């Protein structure tokens, strides 16, 4: 993301309403940058949508892409999704499927729902798949950490109390998986 000439500049709270120009925060600058990336992506893809046997779907997708470009929150999430300069074919396919999903549902989906959907797809799919054995070990360590922190905050908690709490947890998990 390009550096701003205002980067690091902080106005006192008393002066924030008195300044005649906008001094965006770093987060605002980032959101604007990613929204611009998302808007340019929608403009490029909207022109290249071609489905020979379904012109109605093409029109719906183009209208949906125009709507996405007009919503800063949604466009910025797509901009974040396309941040990589050399995306893999799987990433490009995921991007196209995400755009099509939102564009097809446009009249029924709100901007916040669309942004949440894109964010979920971006974050969930970008995480590497962790092998089951490693996930179980990580969960085991996390549970031990929580028990130890609890015992530090509440020194009167015995190991028998911790064991009883784990038994309750086992019962709750059994009910959820039944």
Boundary (domain end) residue, out of 126, 149, 168: 126
pTM for this structure? 0.57
Is 6 a member of any domain? no
Under-70 pLDDT residues of the chain: 1-24, 52, 125-130
Number of domains in the chain: 2
The dihedral built from the CA positions of residue 110, 73, 124 and 141, taken in this order, carries a sign that is: negative
Q: Which domain holds residue 64?
A: 13-126
Mark whether 153 and 87 lie in a shared domain.
no
Judge whether 97 and 134 are in contact, CB under 8 Å: no
Is 2 a member of any domain? no
Mark whether 164 and 147 lie in a shared domain.
yes
Is 5 a member of any domain? no
Boundary (domain end) residue, out of 86, 105, 126: 126
Mark whether 122 and 136 lie in a shared domain.
no
H helices within 71-158, ranges in order?
72-81, 89-104, 111-126, 132-153
């Amino acid at each position: 993301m390009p550096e701003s000439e205002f980067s690091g500049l902080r106005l006192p709270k008393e002066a924030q309403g008195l300044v005649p120009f906008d001094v965006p925060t770093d987060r605002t600058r980032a959101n604007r940058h990613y929204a611009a990336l998302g808007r340019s992506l929608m403009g490029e893809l909207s022109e290249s949508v071609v489905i020979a046997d379904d012109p109605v779907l093409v029109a719906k997708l183009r209208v949906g892409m125009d709507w996405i470009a007009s919503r800063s929150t949604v466009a910025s999430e797509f901009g974040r999704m396309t941040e990589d300069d050399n995306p893999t074919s799987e990433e490009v396919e995921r991007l196209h499927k995400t755009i099509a999903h939102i564009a097809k549902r446009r009249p029924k989906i709100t901007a916040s729902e669309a942004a949440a959907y894109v964010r979920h797809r971006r974050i969930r799919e970008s995480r590497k798949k962790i092998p089951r054995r490693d996930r179980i070990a990580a969960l085991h360590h996390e549970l031990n950490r929580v028990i130890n922190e609890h015992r530090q905050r509440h020194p009167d908690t015995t190991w028998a109390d911790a064991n009883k709490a784990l038994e309750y947890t086992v019962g709750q998990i059994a009910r959820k998986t039944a």
